[in-house]
Structure 1
């Protein structure tokens, strides 16, 4: 019986010594989808706070700081963002342990614009209204899901559904659909 008690006490002491709060090699990182830091407006972005060499029992708090107005969901160690405007957004996650130590990590995500167009019928032709400057934007024109050239599209001589896809810096947007008789 004496050996069992000695063994149990020794195990407890070792486990306390092996698990120091925020050891020097403890790390905190923010993981983004596929390691990317550039995204498109209205695209969901997931930020994950991942700890390395930190015992879960030692964590007292984990807090995010940044433009929380674009946060769709805060799940503690995971933030889901959905920015509606282009720009750079910086987020910092901080972790505090039982011993009062703190580590933090910061990430900046760049949100690129999406150029949306609004189609309108005017004098039996289709006009395209832009929400913003389109100098670096490419347009793809479609009638009944078939890509056509701009002139054929704007003349609107063919019956069917008309729409446009815009692409700017890798970000695409779909216009409204107009049905021509």
Structure 2
């Protein structure tokens, strides 16, 4: 039986998906007047993957904003926050503070490494300094995600709401 080169398969998949995403997004604006962006904010030590962007409506009062945390899809091996920037800008345009994060990808990280990053993102959101700086309403935090991002959203919520399950990961519930 021939040995499978999984890294080669992942690299080919990443290239094919990226080519498709780039074609889909060609010509779309990466900034719009209705949204203020704060890009590449570190939430961990990995300078490539543990970065997030915050999108806020340009016209806002001093009131806190409901928060949407976006977790990108990509089968745990593909995707970036940039892939979802257009979706996140549309949400911010509607009055939400949107946190859009990268996470480390397989096979470079082994499960639950990706989920550990999602946990770090929620602790970043809950940090009072960040909440104040970006006007985040911590009483109104929502999760969106597709594919692997949806699964991780469900899993992190299961961990946060079930102490027996949470203990397997060593997570604490963000304030």
TM range (shorter): under 0.3
Between structures 1 and 2, the one with greater helix share: 2
Between structures 1 and 2, the one with greater strand share: 1
Larger radius of gyration: 1
Bigger RCO (CA 8 Å, 6+ sep): 2
Alignment TM-score, normalising by the size of structure 2: 0.26
